[in-house]
A and B are shown apart, each in its own frame.
Chain A
Amino acid sequence: MKRLLILSAVLLLLTMGYKDKVDIEDISLSLLVGIDLDEENNLVFSSSSPVFSKEAKEKEENYVTEAITMRKSRDEDDKTVMALTTGGKTQVLLIGKRVMQHQDWFKLLEPFLRDPKNTLNVRIVMVDGLSYEVLKYAPKDKPRLPLYLSKLIDTAAKRNICVKTTLQDLRRATFEKGMTASVAELRKDGRLFVTGSALLDEDGRYKLSIEEEENRLLRILQQQTTGEFQFTYKAADQPRGKIFPENAYSFYTDDLSVKMKTDYADDKFKFDIDVKIRVVLSELMFPLDVRKEDKKLAQEIEQQFEKKFDKLIKKVQQAKIDPFGFGLHARAFQYQHWKPVQKRWGETLAKADVKVKVKVDIAAMGTTK
């Protein structure tokens, strides 16, 4: 017992001086980090940290620095920020479009991947414009920007307006040969807008942007069917209406199932995708007896869907990317054919046959007839 007491006393003495202690007052949490390229292709890092002080009028401190790497920029920040900058709680990583247009920009995020103190759950967002412009935005009717921004991305992703890509997802997509990355896209036009998703190619370069409707189709083809899927279409056989649209109707999905078949024939990959959707009508601008004419309406929706799926797939094939992850299926089911082309999957997919068949069931029409 005596020995135990002595031991614990020694221990206490030793641990009191241990060197990893950091007081929370000495930490400046970079909740937002931005990366940009200026006109002369210099890297510009920016960060925004909350200020916990009653005396400070502004509750956010923002810094913009030029530096060669992100870790170096932390040095620059520490020269002026009140406390030590850390990335453990970063909520959103804003990356300027100019950065994303270059190959291998992903390397810049190295400190987030290597240092276990930094978070992997930071949301990655591409900014159409300059990210430090977004960072400086201080709306009067919103909570502090990091909270607002992370909430905005999360809720938009819930409605499938954009994809929500965390650093971990991005890392997965970057290393994965059978899939290319997609990230949320943001624009500052007075206010902040989530405009949809940005699709990247195999080297991480920005290729094309899609808006909410196509984003939903993307999510369906990725077989990620969580969240809400709402569509507003215009019926082809109805008059357009003078002022108010008389041919529009909206619905959301009640249940979504996606089945995929992977084949290889005539030196081409073939993907047959069966999408089964149960829809609930939420808006119908023209008179239609849903009880009797539900087949007609379902057919109409099916055609619209198939057309739009085809358009999206064409677009993606032209860009030689694979945000859907068809490559995963190719590897899993046609490994012999996948192996020789895995390094240039984008090109291979561009030549592949992708057919989407949609089957729509009208599950409910709502409370009015």
Chain B
Amino acid sequence: MNKYAMNGITLMQYIFLIQGAQVGTGILSLPRVLAENSGTDGWVNILIAWGINCFAGWVILLTLRKYPDFALPDLFAHLFGKWIGKLLLLPLIAYYAFFAWIIMINTMLFIKAWFLPKTPGFLILLLLAIPGYLVVQHGLRVQARYAEFVFYLMMWVPLIFLATLKHGHWLHLLPVLKEGWEPILHGLPKTVFAFAGNEVLFFIYPFLKKKQYAVHGMLIANTMTMFLYLYVTIICFVFYTPDGITTLNQPVLSLLKTIEFRFVERVDMIFLAIYLIVVSRAWNAYIFCTVFSTSFLFKKQDHSSHTFVYFALAIVCVYLVKPTWNQTEHWMTLLSNAGMGIMYALPVLLLVYTSGFEKYRRWKAG
């Protein structure tokens, strides 16, 4: 009997959990990062990165399919034994915990840079933490409902961007592949990381009710993310000149700043405030993975106390460290290196190990 069936999630919820984990603050600066590395052909990158991530997600699911009732901690315990399994889990916990923290810090820095420059960072984090705690403490089903609801609630937001199209020059996109493939491949590592989020599959897969649609759901989630990135990137490329887009830190927000409606002047402010709700899905997902694992380590059924501790620690850390933009960017790079391992190397290793493991067991039993 699946011990997670109690908290089972539907396919839609599964899709939006993955998609929510993928879309974070990275999108705000993504067009610049792409333009820096690959010029106006950067958008091609998104398509390639999408392909790579779909493949990686598929590999993750190949492994998980063999153990439909196991989340990553159970899987590790099963494969490597109780103690080594727990030991191997530790770096992963660190990764998920740090990832969630980085997303929150990034968001905090955005808020500080764009509308509350003098408010201390830990206070902003506290404001983010309270709703986050209320959602995460209740287990995955509540969180999944939240993720789905937020998606429907925010569907209209991308339409704002269309208001800038009348100032756009589609000519900026031509010629396609102006410098060949080399600069595109050069920018790939960063774009690939923009899709980070597939690794929550390790934790949410056992909760999925209809496991036969796991691959479909993962593909749909990745495709939605891809279309969102593509949409925002192309609009930014059309609006900004290819020579000038690299001078902006967050082209997406700068773009919104130029929109003026009769009834509202600073669309960027409103957008950022609303977008917080979208990003909250990302850190919630990673925090869930973190506290789920730590509760497993301490053999606790309920992870709400760990969630509380996590948020408290996150706030205290921000209070003590007072992260700056440059620090955070540096941490991001470290994290993306670790992410490469967890998103791509770990699934492959696990797949190879499990097939060997199963063969060994069968051989031993037979």
Contacts and interface: CB of A to CB of B under 8 A. Distances in A.
Interface stretch (A46-54, A149-157, A167-175, A192-200): A167-175
Interface residues of A, number: 29
A177 interface: yes
B119 A120 contact: no
A20 B114 CA distance: 12
A328 B119 contact: no
B357 to A, nearest CB: 45
Interface stretch (A276-284, A288-296, A331-339, A356-364): A331-339
A121 B258 contact: yes
A18 B174 contact: no
A175 B247 contact: yes
A265 interface: no
B123 A15 contact: yes
Interface string B247-263: 10000011001101000
A347 interface: no
Contacts of A176: 241, 243-244
Given A18-B119, A19-B119, A331 B260 contact: no
Interface string B265-287: 10010000000000000000000
A20 B171 contact: no
Given A7-B130, A335-B175, A172 B241 contact: yes
A332 B114 contact: no
B174 A332 contact: yes
Nearest to B246: A175
B145 to A, nearest CB: 19
A14 interface: yes
Contact of B178 (A11, A116, A328, A335): A335
B91 interface: no
A325 to B, nearest CB: 8
B113 interface: yes
A231 B221 CA distance: 55
A20 B116 contact: yes
A171 B123 CA distance: 35
A308 interface: no
A169 B265 CA distance: 17
A155 B118 CA distance: 40
Contact of B113 (A11, A116, A119, A177): A116
Contact of A11 (B115, B127, B174, B244): B127
A116 B257 contact: yes
A260 B169 CA distance: 14
A328 B118 contact: no
A90 B174 CA distance: 35
B169 A328 contact: yes
B126 interface: yes
B310 interface: no
B175 A18 contact: no
Residue of B120, B134, B178, B241 ringed by the most chain A CB atoms within 10 A: B241
B118 A120 contact: no
Contacts of A11: 126-127, 130
Interface in B169-223: 169, 171-172, 174-175, 178
Contacts of B139: none
B117 interface: yes
B344 interface: no
Contact of B115 (A20, A329, A335): A20
Interface string B87-125: 000000000000000000000000001111111100100
A4 B258 CA distance: 39
Contacts of B118: 18-20
Contacts of A166: 258
Contacts of A325: 169
Interface string A176-191: 1101000000000000
A121 B260 contact: yes
B171 A116 contact: no
A280 to B, nearest CB: 25
Contacts of B117: 20
Contacts of A335: 175, 178
7 contacts: A18-B116, A116-B114, A116-B257, A119-B265, A331-B174, A332-B171, A333-B174
Q: Give the 10 A-B CB pairs with smallest separation, nearest first.
A: A175-B244, A332-B174, A176-B241, A19-B118, A332-B171, A328-B171, A168-B258, A175-B243, A20-B116, A116-B114
Interface of A: 4, 7, 11, 14-15, 18-20, 116, 119-121, 166, 168-169, 171-172, 174-177, 179, 325, 328-329, 331-333, 335
Given A116-B115, A172-B241, A176-B241, 4 more contacts: A168-B167, A172-B240, A174-B244, A175-B244
